[in-house]
Structure 1
Amino acid sequence: MVNDSTRLSAQDWARAALEAIANGGLAAVAVEPLARTLGVTKGSFYAHYRNRDELIAAALAEWVRTHGAEALADFAAISDPAQRLRELLTVVVQAVQPLAPSVHLSLLGARNDPRVRDAIRQVNQARLELLDRTYRELGLPPDRATSRARVAYAAILGLLHLAQTDPDAPHPAVLADEATAIFLPS
């Protein structure tokens, strides 16, 4: 919790909004509850945003920045495609925690909102492009690389979904080993 003597940035508010989205969807983004969570007054909010819609737009932009192409840059820079895929799958699968909320999955409930649809599209596109490129570099023909990328990404999203409802899910390291074994071409 932040006390009143600490000045919050617009990014602090956007991150708090993302946490609210992960826990309760877009409807959970409300100024007064966020201010209470952050330990500040509503005035702090209005120093950065004119309204809730601006905060939602900033939160979605922050999510795209931290989960889209920019966030994948370190993986994209790995020259060995097998190592890249192994590291990417390991990091992603190990990040999946039982009963943990997910911004991505929570946003799906508001996918008819054009802002949400665009943010999800950007994140999905960046992830699929990296997977597709990796599978091509591993020697799969373009059509198979695209299909394999989609199946791998669907499995990742499926693990996120299962983790939200299954407290007895296998340890993330076990899942990472399995994902690597399944999705690395032999």
Structure 2
Amino acid sequence: MKTAAHRGPPTGPRAALKAIANGGLAAVAVEPLARTLGVTKGSFYAHYRNRDELITAALAEWVRSHGDEGLTEFAVIADPARRLRELLTAVVQAVQPLAPSVHLSLLGDRNDPRVGDAVRRVNQARLELLARTYGELGLPPDRAASRARVAYAAILGLLHLAQTDPDASHSAVLADEATAIFLPS
């Protein structure tokens, strides 16, 4: 038997993630997604047995692309100050005013065990990278972990503000400010 990871077209999970960003798990509906992908409903079901299988595949894709594997480009930067600066700059530049966020949308469905696990795994990967970076910058482990949590909370806060504020800035000024605040001197 084929597994979900080998069954569907690669755009299926991405289309489901786009739907999730725009309306949570409730927005993942087979007929509209099949139309978006340019396939019939029957063809969709040839790739995914049901909606839950697609949601599971989409969450796995999100964890892969936004967890450990998605952070690889930053994790390999040897200089921790440069790593933190580039990570903060990438985050600030990715924040777009009024843009939907998979992460924030998933929080509305956090009681779904699949969602809770996916969010936990992504948060853990991000927090571990930040804590490791702060540790390499000379903070003791407990302070590195605390600083990582505060920095990550600020990142999520920027995402939240961008969803609700059409004037939210995503300029280099914000990246500089984030670096000034969260890079130990």
Q: TM-score, normalised by structure 1?
A: 0.94
Taking only aligned residues, the RMSD between alpha carbons, in angstroms, comes to 1.1
Contact 1:97–1:172, Cα closer than 8 Å, also in 2: no
Q: Please name the residue that 2:163 is paired with.
A: 164
For 2:45, give the aligned amino acid.
Y
Which consecutive residues of structure 1, in runs of 5 or more, have no partner in the other structure? Answer: 1-7
For 2:146, give the aligned amino acid.
S
Contact 1:64–1:123, Cα closer than 8 Å, also in 2: yes
Distance in 1 (alpha carbons) for counterparts of 2:61 and 2:170: 29
Q: Please name the residue that 2:153 is paired with.
A: 154
Distance in 2 (alpha carbons) for counterparts of 1:184 and 1:66: 25
For 1:129, give the aligned amino acid.
E
Q: Please name the residue that 1:41 is paired with.
A: 40
Query: How many Å apart are 1:31 and its aligned residue?
Result: 0.3
Query: How many Å apart are 1:96 and its aligned residue?
Result: 0.3
Query: How many Å apart are 1:40 and its aligned residue?
Result: 1.9
Query: How many Å apart are 1:43 and its aligned residue?
Result: 1.9
Query: Are 2:105 and 1:110 aligned?
Result: no
Task: Tell me the SS of whatever aligns to 2:19.
Answer: helix
Query: How many Å apart are 1:163 and its aligned residue?
Result: 0.1
Query: How many Å apart are 1:130 and its aligned residue?
Result: 0.1
Distance in 1 (alpha carbons) for counterparts of 2:169 and 2:71: 26
Distance in 2 (alpha carbons) for counterparts of 1:40 and 1:62: 20
Contact 1:96–1:172, Cα closer than 8 Å, also in 2: no
Query: How many Å apart are 1:47 and its aligned residue?
Result: 1.6
Which consecutive residues of structure 2, in runs of 5 or more, have no partner in the other structure? Answer: 1-6
For 1:133, give the aligned amino acid.
R
For 1:80, give the aligned amino acid.
D
Q: What percentage of residue pairs aligned between the two structures are identical?
A: 85
Contact 2:110–2:116, Cα closer than 8 Å, also in 1: yes
Q: Please name the residue that 1:71 is paired with.
A: 70
Q: Please name the residue that 2:55 is paired with.
A: 56
For 1:118, give the aligned amino acid.
D
Query: How many Å apart are 1:39 and its aligned residue?
Result: 2.2
Q: Please name the residue that 1:95 is paired with.
A: 94
